């Protein structure tokens, strides 16, 4: 039986067929983040396993990871690290490129965003194939920090992203 809080969150996630391309069923979180009660509920359950953990920063993946990542950092009392698309950060950056099913993408972070001694929680709205999340782990580690865990609001189980992230701990609120 699905817990009541998960049912409440699921009711605020809208399916958009054929977006951003034919054959994709997009999980739209904008109704969830628009409603303050479900946004708070999602955040509570997203960070719950990490309260009291030795985390020194939260990193969020562009762009929806910024929503949940910055709120998680605030609630955990640590700083936030934006992992951005190329050309969006004004200072010296470290980059990681990774393959997509239709090309390549890159993530960047400032070279001083984190470093040795930091334990980083990576946050995003959705785990699909795991490519972006795996690249985010590599980027944080290239900067000298340790990945503590990854947390997602939604996980698309059939796409196998969790297996791409072994051995990192993965926490997901909803499984589709």
Catalytic residues: 64, 101
Helix residue ranges per DSSP H, 26-147? 30-34, 36-47, 64-76, 131-142
Give the C-alpha separation, 31 to 48, whole Å: 22
Residues with Cβ < 8 Å from 171, sequence gap 6 or more? 46, 49, 50, 149, 150, 151, 152
161, containing H or E segment = helix 161-164
Residues in a beta bridge with 28 = 14
Q: Indicate left, alpha or beta for 140 from its phi (over 0: left) and psi (-120 to 50: alpha).
A: alpha
Write out the H or E segment, with its range, that includes residue 121.
Answer: strand 119-127
């Amino acid at each position: 039986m699905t817990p009541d809080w998960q049912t409440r969150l699921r009711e605020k996630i809208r399916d958009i067929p054929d977006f951003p391309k034919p054959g994709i069923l997009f999980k739209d979180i904008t109704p969830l983040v628009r409603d303050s009660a479900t946004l708070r509920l999602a955040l509570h359950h997203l960070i719950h396993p990490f309260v009291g953990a030795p985390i020194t920063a939260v990193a969020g993946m562009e762009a929806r990871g910024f929503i949940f990542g910055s709120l998680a950092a605030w609630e955990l009392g640590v700083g936030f690290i934006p992992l951005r698309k190329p050309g969006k950060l004004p200072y010296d950056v470290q980059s990681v490129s990774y393959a997509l099913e239709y090309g390549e993408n890159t993530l960047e972070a400032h070279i001083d965003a984190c470093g040795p001694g930091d334990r980083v929680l990576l946050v995003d709205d959705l785990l699909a194939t795991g490519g972006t999340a795996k690249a985010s782990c590599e980027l944080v580690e290239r900067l000298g920090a340790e990945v503590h865990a990854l947390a997602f609001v939604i996980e698309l189980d059939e796409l196998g992203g969790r297996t791409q992230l072994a051995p990192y701990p993965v926490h997901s609120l909803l499984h589709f």
